[in-house]
Chain A
Amino acid sequence: MTAPDPLIDAYLEGDLDDRQALALQTWLSADREHVRAFVRLTALHSGLRRALSGSAAPSAPSSRPISARRARTSARRALPRWIVPALAAGLMFAVGGVLLARSTPVDSDERVVVTAGAAVVERNRSTVEVRVGDALAPGDRLRVTEGELMLAYIDGTVLSFAAGTQAHLPAAVAGTAGKRVGIDHGRLRASVARQPAGRPLVIVTADVDLTVIGTELSCTCSVGSTRLEVASGRVRVGRHGDGQSVEAGAGDYVQAVPGQALEVRVQPAATVSAVALRVGGPRHNRLLGADGRRFVMKGVQVHVVPWGPSASAAQRLLAERAFAGRGAQFAALRLAGINTARVFVGGEVAFAADNGLGGGGGDGIAGYVQRLATWVADARAAGITVLICYHGDDAWENDAHWPRYQRLFATLVPALRPFDNVLYELVNTYQMDDQAWMRASLRSIAAFRALDYRGPLVAGLNHYGNWWYSPLVDQLARQDRQLVFSLHYYKWMGWDDTATRLAHGANYPVILGEFGRDVRGDVGETEAIAAAAAMRVLVMQDRAIGAVANGWNVPPYLPGLRGNVMTDDEAGLMPNAWGVGYRDAFSGTLPDWIEVAPVAPTPPGVLP
């Protein structure tokens, strides 16, 4: 049996902690066969109850009366704190640590466990099968028998081995430090968190060492040949035989073949990912994934911008926390049902030469973009789409500031091109003259298209779309067929009115781009829930794409505003419905619920 029995046993006995629960959920999600194994065991549990309930005791175990039975039924346990930013990778290590004894002491950063799939491992001259939750040890030799094997390190680094791959974890070598993995033959994809200075991850093949600081890559190895493709970051390729070394960056590939010089080449365009999401569908009002399926946006605002010296200490601390723990945060977001993270970019830190990000070139943009790219790579690995929104000054409408906005995006868009999980948002502002809004929108669209970005652009509406609708919107929609219109919630009836006009009247793709309790006090929790619920109705009617809650890790400089997140797991109103559970991201507490009855779809073009 391949089930992680200790986890299922703990589940049956109500003893799962948050980390084990996450591990169990990950295992169940990985394979339908896992669900079948799980159902067999839970059916055994309930079958025992059915078979024995009401039966006579086989013998009296004690003269003590059983009076306390069922007492625990009424003593409800607290809900697992799913929304606490969990150490997603760390939990796997906790589980794996109890499942496998280690033969070699391993630095905690180098511990690696199976997070999906299975493999046969040769260890200490014996053969064992490793499964989800099992830890691996230096010296282990892996053979991936079927499916994909995923391994995770505690820092969020993920390695995925294709079926048929043979790999090994080299035993510790004196004088070396950091993670090491060897590939005998087969295919490896890696999403590598930034490694500590002097402790890079090294992928060892028969021919070369690939030294990785933090990047996303794939590596295909066969006898006498290693091919490296880099999606982001930089990788140093060092050949064993002659010591030749080259560095490959995003979009590059290196084919190491004996007798031929190592050479860095540009990957053919087809191998570089395009933006996966497109506006489409029968009414041209949906976002569709690469597989043609409708994408329902369940987003949350994530605050990671202020890294540099211009930010306050509190801002920097928050950003560093978000950045350092991003693997765990992304995992926690996914567990909450979130598929989109909206992030502000820009601000002084993006441009300050002394922002500490090693930008060079007279300003800090290059380093800033490089760091953001690693964040986007990690989001992609977690299945999170990133909605990038410029924030920080009035560049949208101010001609004097416009050039630096262009400069940032001229660096950012090419850097993020390899990623298929990026959307860009235009015009995040509140009060503009209508014509100024139109002009800002048009020039922003033109700027992105000039950078050869062909994906959807999220166009923020003037006045955040609160009681505002202008024929200019129709004009703008005609300019570009890949626009998605975004409203923000400030007065929910206000945006609801505009959303209804956009969605029902014009069949435009619409999102609720930001909603949450307002620190200024003119709207509250109840209204926020109502706004989200109203958007859900539009989503259910296939009239809107989804919404973004504000926010996940709320900056401490916004006193009174706690983190909120929409989740699916309170979606008790209607099966298959998009949830508007709206709860504090850190305490996990839920406010009162506002029920929303299903609404019959309105025929296209008809205002309700």
Chain B
Amino acid sequence: MDTPPASISPADQERFTRLWTTAQPAISNYIAALVPDFHEGEDLLQNVAVVVLRKFASYDRGQPFVAWAMGVARFEILAKRRTFARSAVVISSDLVETIAEVAQEMQPELDARGRALRECIATLGERAGQVVHLRYAEALEPRDIAPLVGLSAGAVRVMLTRIRAALHACIDRRSLAAGET
């Protein structure tokens, strides 16, 4: 990872850290929408953080930091999309813009859904929990998960689809109950 520019003051570093901590979930969700591959998305998030820090001196404090940082992220996505294995290449430039706006608008809702998700994960059965762990904690592809759980790759995909649908429904129910839809 690159070092921050020497000109940034300790006060600015602290300010940056505070602002970045606030903005990071929205940027992370935005990147996740366009770059579903975990490793690529995580690399990109790191790059965005570096670029945001480098450009922090030019940040106009009259502007919302999240919007400014999202602009940087959008730039990075557009600039890097050719190198992605998948994902953003299927989304047009117009949609990249729209998704940026929507991700910002939805951040309170997505925060609430993230909290509900942690509770919903705990409700998964043993086998579903195994598959989810291999897919998301170990970042294995379905074809790599298949021999580990004694299923075909297709069956793993179907299982993941059903697990996500179940989690989605669980989150909806909990959000509804909490009045956070």
Give me the interface of A with B, judged by CB distance under 8 Å: 1, 5-6, 9, 11-16, 21, 24-25, 28-29, 32, 35-36, 38-55, 57-59, 61-62, 64, 66, 68-70, 72-73, 75-77, 79-80, 82, 335, 337, 568-576, 579, 590
Nearest CB of B to A330, in Å: 16
Using Cβ atoms and an 8 Å threshold, which residues of chain B touch A5?
161, 165
Asked if A1 meets B137 with Cβ closer than 8 Å, knowing A40-B113, A47-B114, A574-B75, the reply is no
**In this complex, what residue of B is CB-closest to A42?**
B33
- State the Cβ distance, A294 to closest chain B Cβ, in Å: 15
Q: In this assembly, does B36 line the interface, its C-beta being within 8 Å of a C-beta of chain A? A: yes
Q: What residues of chain A lie closer than 8 Å to B87, measured between beta carbons?
A: 11, 14
Given contacts A9-B161, A46-B28, A76-B83, 17 further A-B contacts (CB under 8 A): A1-B168, A5-B161, A16-B90, A25-B95, A29-B95, A38-B99, A48-B117, A55-B133, A58-B130, A59-B130, A66-B138, A69-B138, A69-B140, A70-B39, A569-B92, A572-B75, A572-B79
Q: Is the CB of B157 within 8 A of A64?
A: no
Complex CA distance for A61 and B85, rounded to whole angstroms: 29
Q: Quick check: A77 and B85 within 8 Å, CB to CB?
A: yes
Judge whether B98 and A575 touch: CB under 8 Å.
no
Q: Which 5 A-B pairs have the closest CB atoms?
A: A46-B32, A572-B79, A21-B90, A52-B137, A42-B33
The segment out of B6-14, B47-55, B56-64, B142-150 that lies at the interface is B142-150
CB nearest neighbor in A for B134? A61
- Scoring B residues 18 to 38 as 1 if CB is less than 8 Å from chain A, else 0, what string do you get? 000000000011011100111
CA distance A72 to B144 in the complex (A): 10
A5-B161, A13-B142, A61-B134 known; A42+B29 contact, CB < 8 A: yes
Q: Cβ of B171: which chain A residues have Cβ within 8 Å of it?
A: 44
- Among B79, B90, B114, B129, which residue has its beta carbon within 8 angstroms of that of A24? B90
Residue of B nearest to A16 (CB): B90
A1 to B33, alpha carbons, bound, how many Å?
18
Contact of B130 among A9, A43, A57 (CB under 8 A): A57
Tell me if B155 counts as interface (CB < 8 A to partner A): no
User: What's the nearest-Cβ distance from chain A to residue B37, in Å?
Assistant: 6
Instruction: Judge whether B99 and A13 touch: CB under 8 Å.
Output: no
Cα–Cα, bound, A28→B34 (Å): 12
Q: Is the CB of B106 within 8 A of A36?
A: yes
Quick check: is B174 within 8 A (CB to CB) of the other chain? no
B residues lining the A interface (CB < 8 Å)? 28-29, 31-33, 36-41, 71, 74-75, 78-83, 85-87, 89-95, 97-99, 102-103, 106, 110, 113-114, 117-118, 121, 126, 129-130, 132-142, 144, 147-149, 157, 160-161, 164-165, 167-168, 171
For this complex, 6 residue pairs linking A to B, each with C-beta atoms less than 8 Å apart, are A13-B36, A13-B141, A36-B106, A39-B106, A76-B85, A568-B93
Partner of A571, one of B32, B93, B133, B140: B93
| Chain A residues in 8 Å Cβ range of B129 | 58-59
A66 touches B157 (CB 8 A): no
The residue on B at minimum CB distance from A335 is B92
CA distance A70 to B94 in the complex (A): 31
Task: Tell me how far the C-beta of B165 lies from the nearest C-beta in chain A, rounded to whole angstroms.
Answer: 7
- The distance in angstroms between the C-alpha atoms of A29 and B144, with both chains bound, is 34
Q: In the complex the two chains form, what is the Cα distance from A115 to B135 in whole Å?
A: 32
Secondary structure class of chain B's binding surface, majority of residues: helix
Q: Is B137 in contact with A32, judged by CB distance below 8 angstroms?
A: no
* Chain B contacts for A570, CB-based, 8 A: 82
User: Which residues of chain A come closer than 8 Å to B148, judged between CB atoms?
Assistant: 61-62, 64, 66
Chain A residues closer than 8 Å to B138, beta-carbon distance: 57, 66, 69
B167 and A44: CB pair below 8 A? yes
Give, as a whole number of angstroms, the nearest-CB distance from B62 to chain A. 20
| Cα–Cα, bound, A228→B138 (Å) | 61
Are A39's CB and B103's CB within 8 A? yes
Name the contact of A337 in the complex, choosing from B40, B93, B164 (C-beta under 8 A).
B93
* Complex-state Cα separation, A24 to B140, whole angstroms: 24
Question: For the complex, what is the distance from the CA of A209 to the CA of B135, rounded to whole Å?
Answer: 56
Please give, as numbers and ranges, the residues of chain A lying within 8 Å of B36 by CB-CB distance: 11-14, 42, 45-46
Question: Are A58's CB and B126's CB within 8 A?
Answer: yes
CB distance from A503 to the nearest CB of B (A): 24
CB closest chain-B residue, reference A576: B97
Name the contact of B168 in the complex, choosing from A6, A40, A55, A75 (C-beta under 8 A): A40
Question: Among B31, B71, B86, which residue has its beta carbon within 8 angstroms of that of A14?
Answer: B86
Report B-chain residues with C-beta under 8 Å of the C-beta of A45.
32, 36, 164
Q: Is the CB of B33 within 8 A of A39?
A: yes
B23 CB to nearest chain A CB (Å):
15
User: Judging by beta carbons under 8 Å apart, are A569 and B136 in contact?
Assistant: no
Rounded to whole Å, the gap between the CB of B85 and the closest CB of chain A is: 4
A572 to B83, CA, bound (A): 11
With both beta carbons as reference points, the residue of chain A lying nearest to B79 in the complex is identified as A572
Collect the chain A residues with CB atoms within 8 Å of residue B89's CB.
Answer: 79-80, 82, 569
Which chain A residues lie closer than 8 Å to B117 at the CB level?
Answer: 44, 47-48, 51
Closest to B34 in A: A42
Task: Give B40's nearest chain A residue, CB to CB.
Answer: A73
Q: Which residue of B lies closest to A66 (CB)?
A: B138
**Shortest Cβ distance from A54 into B: residue:** B137
- In the complex, the answer to whether B32 meets A43 with C-beta atoms within 8 Å is yes
> Among the interface residues B40, B140, B142, which one has the most CB atoms of the partner chain A within 10 A?
B140
Check if A41 sits within 8 Å of B95, measured CB to CB. no
A46 touches B75 (CB 8 A): no
| Chain B CB within 10 A, most for which of A28, A36, A58, A68 | A58
* Alpha-carbon distance A208/B11, docked complex (angstroms): 77
B94 contacts A35, CB within 8 Å? no
CB closest residue in chain B, given A60: B130
CB-CB < 8 A to A70: which residues of B? 39, 139
Which residue on B lies nearest to A48, using beta carbons?
B136
Residue of A nearest to B42 (CB): A49
Taking a contact as CB atoms under 8 Å apart, the answer to whether A43 and B33 are in contact is yes
Q: How far is the CA of A154 from the CA of B51 in the complex (A)?
A: 46
- A6 and B118 CA atoms in complex are apart in Å by 24
B79 and A573 contact, CB distance less than 8 A: yes
B86: contacting residue among A24, A41, A77, CB under 8 A: A77
**Are B75 and A38 in contact, CB atoms less than 8 angstroms apart?**
no
Q: In the complex, A448 Cα to B136 Cα: how many Å?
A: 64
Q: Once the chains bind, are A40 and B110 in contact (CB under 8 Å)? A: yes
- The interface residues of chain A lying within 8 Å CB-to-CB of B126 are 58-59
The CA of A76 and the CA of B80, in the complex, are separated in Å by 14
The minimal Cβ–Cβ distance linking A430 to chain B, given in whole angstroms, is 35
- In the assembled complex, which residues on chain B have CB atoms less than 8 Å from the CB atom of A80? 89-90
Q: How far is the CA of A75 from the CA of B84 in the complex (A)?
A: 11
